[in-house]
Amino acid sequence: MTNKRKTKKQLRNGCSRTEVFISPKNYKTLKNKSDLTKDWFVECRFYDPLFKDKYPEGFQFRRRPEKQSTLADQKRKIQDYKTLMEKYLDLQNFNPITKEFMEDRSGILSPNMDFKSALLEGVKKITASEAHIRQVDYAVRRFVKGLDKLSYSYINISDVKIHHIKNTLENLDLPPYYFNKFRAYLTGIFKELIEYGCIGFNPVRDISKKKFESKPRTIFTDNKLKIVFEYLHENYPDFFRYGKIFFYSGARSAELLRVQRKHVDLQQQEYLVQIQKGKQFKWVTKAISNQALPYWKEIVGLCKDDEDYLFSSKQIPGSTPIQAASISQRWYRLVKKKPIINPVTKEKIVISEDFYSLKHLFLDKLEESQQNDKVQEIGFNVAQIAADHTTSRTTAIYTTGKKKREMEILKKVIVNI
């Protein structure tokens, strides 16, 4: 007959254990209250290859519960201790020698990798823009702190269930918008983990999104934007030039900041830009409008060689690209926090609009122009083409004045009945 105490259960990182047994061995048949004085404990032998010389016969992992007042309570307590020890060793991967919960030392994605390590490794498998990966990495590291708090970090990734994700997200107490963002990021990571055989299903997929009301974006009036541009032109000409190029491009800062001198063809009024969305990176040729051309000529003329990024530090040419976040930060410092005076009324104007609202205004202006008699015969959506949106639905997010214009058109429709 096989000795159950010698039969080993394989654990993480080459560790193993014998079956957890209860002493006294005949505890189930004990009937006398005097039996409470016996030595009650649960025990197994734990083997760690890193400690095979120190513990060649295995580490004696033993736990004794507090003595209970009745024999029935004592029996229930000792059974609970056995279950708890098995949970610690098998599910939470506790190492009684180091007294730590074990991470997977292999660094290779597999069903036996711990939840925390699998998520951190999963981020590395995502193909996306650097900015997107930074956002995912930030979300995952915050999520991992939630795992630590709930003692989920060291369960096997293959054992992760929906409630582990849901409980952790709820425990982070995220606003609805960020809850949905974290959910989206985790969904993408688990898609990768499924392909690596770590888990058989995506536990994030069935978690519902949070409902929330998005605040309408504040859009510049023509006069207000004119005042801001005049202020920038007078005080921060390099940022003014970038603002004008950005406004007339319909592009994102993340794209413009990657443009180098070699990507610009002034004669053809075109520039080449890499669009990084999701897992797809593609090079796209975009137009330089007549209104923007003088500013493009000016910035290109400042470049020293073809490898210069047009909008490096402080939006002047340089050898190092900068992050899109720096544009928003500079807008906040130079525009939102500065006292900008209306030259006519001499009153201070409040700038609540963010830098990205320039794109919304420009695309809305393009969409508006297409409803005019002069350009409405064009067979494509000019705002959609300018922004390089794959669907008109995306463009509709930016063209905020479209609904009002459509309502005005509907008011003038005559139906013959």
List Cβ neighbours of 343 (8 Å cut-off, separation of 6 or more): 227, 230
Q: Which residues pair with 16 in a beta bridge?
A: 10, 47
What b-and-e string marks burial along 320-346, b requiring 16 or more CB atoms within 10 Å of the CB?
ebbebeebeebbeebbeebebeeeeee
Check whether 175 has a pLDDT greater than 90: yes
Instruction: Give the residue from 99, 103, 124 showing the smallest Cα distance to 115.
Output: 103
d(CA 140, CA 133): 10
Predicted TM-score of the model (pTM): 0.63
Please report the pLDDT score of residue 378 as a whole number: 44
Position 7 confidence tier, pLDDT thresholds 50, 70, 90 = confident
Specify burial of residue 66 (Cβ count, 10 A radius: 0-12, 13-18, 19+): exposed
d(CA 5, CA 19): 5
Check whether 158 has a pLDDT greater than 90: yes
The residue ranges of every structural domain in the chain are 7-99, 113-194, 220-353
Percent of the chain predicted with pLDDT > 90? 62
Contact 275, 256 (CB under 8 A): no
Per-residue pLDDT tens for 92-123?
Answer: 899 999 999 998 888 889 998 999 999 999 99
114 is written with which tokens? 């711990």
Please report the pLDDT score of residue 146 as a whole number: 96
Q: How many CB atoms lie within 10 A of CB 163?
A: 11
